[in-house]
A and B are shown apart, each in its own frame.
Chain A
Amino acid sequence: MNKKKIITIILGIGIISLFIAYQIYNKPHVNVSDTKSDITITADQIINDFSSDETKANRSYLDKIIKISGVISELKVVKQKGIITLKTNHDFGSILCHLSDKASQKINSLKEGQTLTLKGICTGFLMDVILVKCEIIN
């Protein structure tokens, strides 16, 4: 009787830990639309931070969910994915927002010159500041 109990307990722990391991292995990606943004900023401000000190900006913005607002300078769709360029006061740098699959479908309702707020994950700075998995807020 006692032996049986112990075996049941061990088996139970085994199953639970397997389940947890499986959950960790299949951990989902951050859901941008459901997660509160870490930083709220304008297109001008973020490009200035990146062009003045990239290492510092990397530390404060990379992997963060950023709510960004700016004026649309270009809209395009590449391989069914929408890309929105936001204007900045910088000479050639702008903000490139790569939209999520869901947000890409709404790109037709947008116009160049319109002011827009987006939420996305910042992955870094090349010629432009790059945000991925963007969702359109308004």
Chain B
Amino acid sequence: MKIIYTILMCFLFVNVSNSQKQFLTKNGAITFFSSKTMADIKADNNQVLSIIDASNGKMAIIILMKSFMFKKALMQEHFNENYVESDLFPKATFKGEILNFETIKNSETKLEVKGSITIHGKRKEIIIPATFIRSENTIFVKGEFNLLLSDYNIKIPSIVSKKIAKELKVTFEFNHKPYKK
């Protein structure tokens, strides 16, 4: 009887710790913006997958390039075909670690996320400042940073180079929930 009880307790404990370990969102939001143009360039992606492992503060993000929605269809076409070549590189990823993850409180906590971004098949190390809020059932993250196109081998044809900024402002917002199957 005692053995069965122990097994049951172990099972429960494993279950509880598992369900609390991984936090994820399947509809994270990423927006990029550049205003150095005759027309502003802005695109939204609301289908970003982001996962945080709450046991060690590791974070992983996957982005579908074709999910970036532009106001103008022509811009979206150029973005996918000429700039990021999304048929060859359909996904952008981020892999990294939230520094001092255990210090996140129930109010806005400013921390840094250190890791590497891969866009257009090119990897680059980066440190991104972000604001975290952790409650029992959510880990909320938001922030913004600048991204240099040349770091990712994204070429701008010289004919439009004056109209397109070489740097983009990226904002992100993820509301992670505990992962359950």
Contacts and interface: CB of A to CB of B under 8 A. Distances in A.
Interface of A: 24-30, 58, 62-63, 78-79, 81, 83, 91-92, 96, 98, 123-124, 126-128, 130, 132
A78 B74 CA distance: 27
Nearest to B68: A123
B73 A123 contact: no
B73 A98 contact: no
A130 B47 contact: yes
B181 interface: yes
Given A27-B72, A132-B47, A63 B66 contact: yes
Contacts of A124: 64, 66-67, 90-91
Contacts of A81: 46
Given A58-B90, A62-B66, A96-B26, A29 B73 contact: yes
B66 A83 contact: no
A96 B90 contact: no
A82 to B, nearest CB: 11
A62 B49 CA distance: 18
Contact of A26 (B64, B67, B72): B72
**Which 8 A-B residue pairs are closest in the complex by CB-CB distance?**
A124-B64, A123-B66, A126-B49, A123-B67, A29-B73, A27-B73, A130-B47, A123-B64
B69 interface: yes
B74 A27 contact: yes
A127 B91 contact: no
B72 A25 contact: yes
Contact of A128 (B26, B67, B74): B26
A26 B75 CA distance: 9
B154 interface: no
Contacts of B46: 78-79, 81, 98
Contact of A127 (B49, B73, B74, B90): B49
A26 B26 CA distance: 31
A50 to B, nearest CB: 12
B57 to A, nearest CB: 21
Contacts of B29: 79
A62 B66 CA distance: 8
Contacts of B90: 58, 62, 124
A56 to B, nearest CB: 13
B72 A126 contact: no
A29 B73 CA distance: 5
Contact of B181 (A79, A92, A126): A92
